[in-house]
A and B are shown apart, each in its own frame.
Chain A
């Protein structure tokens, strides 16, 4: 059974710092991996999707990497801002077609002005 772990569960950093969020998964047979953002009381917003054949994806100040063989992904946030405060979740998709995502429990990020 696929298990996804995110460490740390919470992270607090001052504004302007670069930071890395970690995600690990137990089964390397994945189709893709996604990073989501969730604001309090809201739904999830997709940030980045990495196919199993890719090593990284970038969107603005965000960069996600994938090392499928070691079962790890990282989300790098550059020059953090208070608006980046949210919970970040990673999810693995085990196969084609219906995306039966398996989620980690998330990292709650706080950026202090």
Chain B
């Protein structure tokens, strides 16, 4: 999607290893979000950021940490990956209370 990119697009990792997913935006939007999408659960918010170094937890934050050292980058880290974290991860950005743009997603498989 224009203005927001996620990397990698696909990743397979082993249980117990740390994994970092990257979200990069070129829109200079204030807010950035990480969601996961799972069958039977839909999309659920993991963490979000409301500015550089300003982050907060979402609904399913256990086992995840985030960092935002620059406006354009929002990193999601799985500190010790588990099979339950196999999912599709989406990053999103918004300038304020209106408008939302999603990235194309990262498919993560933990074996």
Which of A's residues lie within 8 Å of B, judged by CB?
31-32, 34, 36, 41-46, 49, 89, 91, 93, 96-101, 103-106
Q: How far does the alpha carbon of A101 sit from the alpha carbon of B97 in the complex, in Å?
A: 11
Which of B's residues lie within 8 Å of A, judged by CB?
1, 31, 33, 40-45, 48, 50, 56, 58, 90, 92, 94, 96-105
Q: How far does the alpha carbon of A26 sit from the alpha carbon of B98 in the complex, in Å?
A: 22
Contact A32 B97 (CB under 8 A): yes
Contact B100 A46 (CB under 8 A): yes
By a CB distance below 8 angstroms, the chain A residues around B98 are 32, 49
Q: How far does the alpha carbon of A46 sit from the alpha carbon of B101 in the complex, in Å?
A: 7
Q: How far does the alpha carbon of A34 sit from the alpha carbon of B33 in the complex, in Å?
A: 16
Min CB gap A10→B, angstroms? 13
Min CB gap B3→A, angstroms? 12
